[in-house]
């Protein structure tokens, strides 16, 4: 696998586009910016929703760690955290050991793991198993009107990156797999135990999972066919 071992401060625009949305034209915002930091917003959500709150993190865990630092009660009130990140039995995608979201801030990941909040890792072991190829994207485009066109447009840079770097005519479904786990956990095989993040040396950013008793789960398998069908179903409901 071609790896881009980029510095922590570099934004991966070569994967997602400079605006994070595949460089599509984004209309000017009509809403006022919330003055809260992301960490404060998470802390407030935990206070407002308590044990009903499920946090789905699809990027670095920096803001979540900062929120727990603001309000340690999140560790005892939050129902569950679902993260897209890490790798269990498979290799990483920015080093032989590390996945990009965890590699970007492994200290934050370890801090979150240490809180003993129920947490499920939806990592590369399953996100690399579910792929969207050109035919699938075209089926969305032709059957779902503006919604399908939007999905097509925002994935062009992402698809191009995988074509250029891997010569693939498909791309892995990372972030949406975490949402799918929340929506349909039965699509996934999981193992229970405890997660740890390596902070030093060449394995920095590696997620190490010890099966057994513990507050964490890792996804080790997925029904990709069912997940892609559900993805289409959910988009169809909004069309």
Residue numbers annotated as active site: 174
Residue 197, H or E segment: strand 188-197
- Cα 159 to Cα 146, 151, 153, distances in angstroms: 19, 12, 10
Phi, psi of 53 (to 5 degrees): -85, 125
- Please state, in angstroms and rounded to a whole number, the distance separating the CA atoms of residues 7 and 9: 5
- 155: phi then psi, degrees, rounded to nearest 5: -100, 5
| CA 211 to chain CA centroid, nearest Å | 22
Side-chain half-sphere CA neighbours of 218 within 13 A: 23
How far, in Å, CA of 63 to CA of 60, rounded?
8
HSE value, Cβ hemisphere, 13 Å, CA-based, for 62: 10
In the chain the first and final C-alpha atoms are separated, in Å, by: 36
- String of b and e for 131-158 (b: at least 16 CB within 10 Å)? bbeeebbeebbeebeebbebbbebbebb
């Amino acid at each position: 696998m071609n790896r881009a071992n980029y510095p922590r401060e570099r934004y991966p625009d070569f994967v997602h586009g400079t605006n994070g949305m595949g460089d599509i034209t984004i209309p000017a915002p009509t809403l006022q910016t919330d003055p809260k930091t992301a960490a404060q917003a998470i802390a407030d959500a935990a206070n407002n929703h308590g044990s009903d709150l499920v946090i789905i993190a699809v990027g670095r865990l920096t803001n979540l760690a900062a929120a727990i630092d603001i309000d340690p009660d999140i560790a005892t009130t939050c129902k569950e955290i679902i993260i897209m990140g890490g790798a269990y039995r498979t290799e990483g995608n920015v080093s032989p050991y590390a996945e990009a979201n965890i590699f970007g801030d492994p200290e934050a990941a370890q801090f979150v793991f240490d809180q003993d909040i129920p947490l499920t890792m939806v990592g590369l072991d399953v996100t690399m198993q579910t792929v969207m190829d050109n035919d699938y994207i075209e089926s969305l485009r032709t059957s779902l009107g503006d919604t399908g066109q939007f999905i097509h447009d925002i994935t062009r840079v992402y698809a191009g990156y995988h074509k250029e770097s891997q010569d693939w005519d498909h791309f892995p479904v990372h972030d949406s797999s975490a949402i799918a786990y929340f929506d349909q956990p039965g699509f996934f095989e999981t193992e229970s135990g405890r997660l740890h993040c390596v902070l030093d040396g060449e394995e920095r950013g590696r997620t190490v999972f010890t099966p057994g008793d513990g507050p964490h789960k890792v996804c080790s398998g997925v029904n990709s066919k069912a997940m892609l069908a559900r993805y289409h179903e959910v988009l169809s409901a909004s069309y």
